[in-house]
Amino acid sequence: MVTGPGGEALAEDRGIEMEVLEEKEEEEQKEEELKALEISSELHDTKTKLSVEQICFSSDVPDFDWNSIDTSQLPDSYKMNSPREKKLLRIADHYHQQYTHLCPERKPLFLHPVNECGVEKFVSTTVRPTLLPYTELYHWDGCASFVSDYLTMEPLKCPLTPPSSLYSPTTILKYQRGNCFDFSVLLCSMLIGAGYDAYCVNGYATHNICSLDESLEECPLLRKPQEVPKEDVKKSNKYRVKSLPDMHSKFELQQEAKKKAETEATEKKERGERDMDLVFDLSDAVHWEIMLSETDKPLQLLLGAEKKNELFDRNVDDMEEEEEEEEEEISFAMPPSWVAPIQISPKEFETRCSQGRKVILYKKAKLEKWAPYFNGNGLVKRLTIYADSNWTEAVEVKEWFKNREDMLDMREVNKQTQLTTEYFSPGHLFGLKVHAYKSMNPQTERVMEFYTETRVDGLQKLAENASEMKEYFMGRDDFKYFQHTEFRTKRKKVTLAGVGTDVNSRPIVQIKECFHRNLQKPADEDIAERVFLIEEEMIQLTYHLKDKYITASKKDFFKPTESYRKQSEIMTPEMCITYQAGSSEQHTKLVHLYKLLQKLTEEEKQLKQQVWRSQAEVLKILEIRENEEADIKLSASIYDTERNEKKRQEYEAMMNAKKDEFPGQNEQDLDYLAPFLIQMGSPEKMTRRQALRLRDNCLSDFKNRLVSKANIIQARFEKEVEELQKKNQLFQENQNQLSEKEEADLLADYSETMFRIHILALRLDREKQTAPQKYLALEEKLRKDPRLAEHLGHA
């Protein structure tokens, strides 16, 4: 091995070369890594562009071709811009230039898209504030509901960018379709017209919202209102067992509460920082920049950034001129809307849904809407609730109706229990309010509720099944509020001829009545509960509690047998057991107890008839409901000229027929004084005495006619009641011998009689209420009659 100075130099050169090679390798490696990063970023950008393109073109193209709409009949404001509008567009362009310079990373503003005529319009002038003549549209929820129902949503061609055009609300209403921007402009126009401070804001939302997919949302009709928790009122009770003392450390609880409050404050602060684009205080110049101002002191634009920017090389004079120009632009008043007045005809407002029907899918629910009169049964809305998310297994159906003559408002059907509940508006026959049932067959389980103000008996609720019937009352003069009737189950009866028949009757086992307190009577004379044990021939009376007593007075009556009643009418002590609260002695004499027993026996017969009337009324209601559902009729408002045209023609034809039948009839035949003037010889001028006599004769005759009419109704009412009593007696005597068909016929006849009695009772009550009013109205009319006014003015 040879060494020397030359060898050392060679080694040093080789070491330097090795270091240079290593540095080159490191540089090449870094370059490769940078290229790889650039390639990955390019790939990422390419993927992003591809994903955006896929999003933009993934939505289906709308079936409707907006390019084919006819714009020839639109006003000139749609096809051209006024000088003020042109100036506004220049201001908008200048504002947009400043915005893009100050915020280059943000997307362009949506300021002046083209309208349906291809003319650029400033976006705010597309809003046309309008108050439509429908009370439902005076409120925000009514406006939102109408826009949602009336228009069909079209998705944006690209959901990441605003549309290139923005059509007028009138065109959108005409074709009943539009995108989310069209929806917003129309709704904003209606809300501002109704007095709301409304704005249109564009931004981003989830895919479900943009595509109107509410299948993951709960139906609004199923959302329950939040209940306000009521504070528990602790009642002091000295006998209450004391609770164990709280062994938790108050200091530790305070520290935990303090720590929790600090955490919530931090989260709130972070949330506020994240939502800082979400500040909608338009007077806040930090977050909002004003474009146009109609005030004398407009907010200044953020010009400081422009002044300090080195890219703009301008002198001070040019900047001052531009500032003056900007201030002039800011104080420029925006021109009025170029859109024609928004108009919605009554027919369009009534039809609402496109094609008259709309379906919305919610989470495990489906909502269907129809226009009024679209369905022959008056159905306007149906909500179907499902057990699964695929909308296959229905568990409940709710239906809403309008304009039904039977006053049906809503029907609920539980598919699992087969329970149907119907709700009615006031005005139904018999005052029916709610009807819940599983079958329309008689003597099956059902519940009926009534409008008590329309009923004579004050019946509020009736619940029955095969073995019992419960009735609830309100506002009765006898203070009765509850009645419970128990029936014996059906069984076969054998006639004298030995032929077995299946009787459909329900023999009464017992009737229980409950009464409120009558303060006009002493407590121990005021009956609280009365029980008639029909088969046991027993009557039980329970009186109200007296003050400071824990037991109530009672009387138990044992009715004598038929053989005993024929032999003697004497009351024995064994026939009544009496308990007088607060006294061990029996103060009531036997004669008084006997009279009370006779009275109770008579009331028991009347009570049986009342139970029969209730059963007959239920049968009549079921019959009427079956007839109403078999032949559904819809009513029309008197203001609905289109649907009332047919009725108007029928009325005119009827009046023309009457005129043809009585051609000589004229308005003089309707003169209420004509018959009495004829009796007086029709004097041209009357004295005061004649005028007074004429008035008295007219009023007396009218009074007699009112009384006569009331007497006729009263006589018919009494006759029907007498017929009902006869039929009831006939049934009581022969109920064990009646066949099923004979009993059904008797029940139907009984039901018809009850129906007539109910109508006559209503007519009689109405006649008694309106007769004084009619009399006073005629008296006032006679006083103002020109033929009598000069004599009766000071009478």
Give the CA-trace dihedral at 620, 624, 626, 628, to 10 degrees. -170
Q: Is the pLDDT of residue 48 over 50?
A: no
pLDDT at 388: 93
What local confidence, expressed as pLDDT, does residue 321 receive?
56
- Does residue 49 carry a pLDDT above 50? no
pLDDT value, residue 114? 95
Instruction: For residues 328 and 293, give the distance between their C-alpha atoms in angstroms, rounded to a whole number.
Output: 10
Inform me whether the pLDDT recorded for 50 exceeds 60: no
Q: pTM of the entire structure?
A: 0.65
At residue 122, does pLDDT exceed 90? yes
Q: Higher-confidence residue: 661 or 420?
A: 420
Q: pLDDT tens, 64-98?
A: 788 888 899 999 999 999 999 999 999 999 999 99
Query: How would you write 437-452 as a 3-class SS string?
Result: ECCCCCCCCEEEEECH
**The pLDDT of residue 640 is above 70:** yes
Distance CA 124, CA 92 (A): 11
Average pLDDT of span 289-313: 49
Section 358-381 average pLDDT: 93
Q: Rounded to whole angstroms, how far apart are CA atoms 750 and 615?
A: 10
pLDDT interval class at 749 (50, 70, 90): confident
CA distances from residue 511 to 295, 464, 469, 516, 541 in whole angstroms, order as listed: 81, 14, 10, 17, 12
Average pLDDT over residues 766-781: 88
pLDDT at 301: 39
Cβ neighbours of 657 (radius 10 Å) = 9
CA distances from 156 to 64, 108, 204, 456 (A): 13, 17, 12, 63
Q: How many residues in the chain?
A: 795
From residue 717, give the alpha-carbon distance in Å to each of 32, 177, 617, 621, 765. Answer: 109, 61, 17, 20, 11
d(CA 787, CA 686): 8
Query: 631, 436 in Cβ contact below 8 A?
Result: no
* Per-residue pLDDT, 503: 35
The candidate with the shortest Cα–Cα distance to 675, out of 662, 692, 659, 694, is 694
DSSP string of 300-328, one letter each residue:
PP--HHHHH-TT----HHHHHHHHHHHHH
Q: For residue 407, how many other CB atoms are within 10 A of its CB?
A: 17
Q: Which residue has the higher pLDDT, 666 or 495?
A: 666
Question: What pLDDT, on the 0 to 100 scale, is given for residue 790?
Answer: 78
How many other C-beta atoms lie within 10 A of the C-beta of residue 539?
23
Tell me what the mean pLDDT of segment 23-28 comes to: 57
C-alpha count within 13 angstroms, C-beta hemisphere, residue 244: 3
* Banded model confidence at residue 205, pLDDT cuts 50, 70, 90: confident
Residue 493 in this model has a pLDDT that exceeds 50 = no
Tell me, what's the pLDDT at 20? 43
Mean pLDDT across 570-579: 82
Task: Assign 592 to helix, strand or coil.
Answer: helix
Going by their DSSP bridges, the two strands 152-153 and 177-178 should be labelled as: parallel
More confident call, 307 vs 65: 65
The mean-pLDDT minimum among 228-232, 280-284, 614-618 falls in: 228-232
Answer yes or no: is pLDDT of 112 > 80. Answer: yes
**Of all residues in the chain, what percent carry a pLDDT higher than 70?**
78
Compare 259 and 750 and report the one with higher pLDDT.
Answer: 259
Q: Residue 329: its pLDDT value, please?
A: 53
Q: Left, alpha or beta for 391 (phi > 0: left; psi -120 to 50: alpha)?
A: left
**Least-confidence region, from 399-408, 453-462, 487-496, 751-760:** 487-496
- Is the pLDDT at 296 greater than 60, yes or no? no
19 torsion bin: left (phi>0), alpha (psi -120 to 50), beta (else)? alpha
Question: Is 132's pLDDT higher than 80?
Answer: yes
For the chain, percent of residues with pLDDT exceeding 90 = 38
Of 532-536, 585-589, 666-670, 789-793, the poorest mean pLDDT is in 666-670
**Least confident window among 5-19, 515-529, 667-681, 697-711:** 5-19
CB 434 within 8 A of CB 448: yes
Residue-averaged pLDDT of the chain: 80
3-state class of 542 per DSSP? strand
Half-sphere exposure of 700 (CA within 13 A, CB side): 7
Between 40 and 87, the higher pLDDT residue: 87
Residue 110, pLDDT > 70, answer yes
